[in-house]
Amino acid sequence: MSGKVLVLNGPNLNLLGTREPDVYGAETLDSIEANCRARAQGLDLELEFCQTNSEGQLVDWVQQARDTHDLLIVNAGAYTHTSVALLDALKAIALPVIEVHLSNIHQREEFRHHSYVSKVAVGMICGFGGFGYEMALESAAQLLTKK
């Protein structure tokens, strides 16, 4: 394996497929995960994929990743725009972070334009639906190869 990647998903992403399909599409988180697993295998990446509605759980997973993973892909959902605790955890672990959003957050409500995750992310992929996760895995493979 060329790297171990942790994909973290925040609140309400478990409702994909039924939650505001006009904004988030009809794809479920399970189908996004399946596509990611297939893509990761082709990229020789080991993948762990998690979702929680709890800010504290996200922070715990980030802290644990320091010793177990090489890179994080994060779709923090609404915590993107509100969580200083998540920002602090991401800063503390000093791992590369790729930020992903299903929708283009810059075309949405003003409060969604600000991202705490972006303060530490290598880059952000937004507006491509579930395919954005696969794009993030491609980027992860390149970053880890250069490491």
Show which residues are catalytic.
24, 101
Count of C-beta atoms within a 10 Å radius of residue 93: 16
β-pairing, 45-51 with 123-126? unpaired
- Of 67, 53, 51, the closest CA to residue 7 belongs to 51
Q: For the sheet containing 71-75, what is the strand order?
A: 45-51, 3-9, 71-75, 97-101, 123-126
- Of 13, 41, 3, the closest CA to residue 144 belongs to 3
Residue 135 has, within 13 A of its CA and on its CB side, a CA count of: 15
Helix, coil or strand: residue 113:
helix
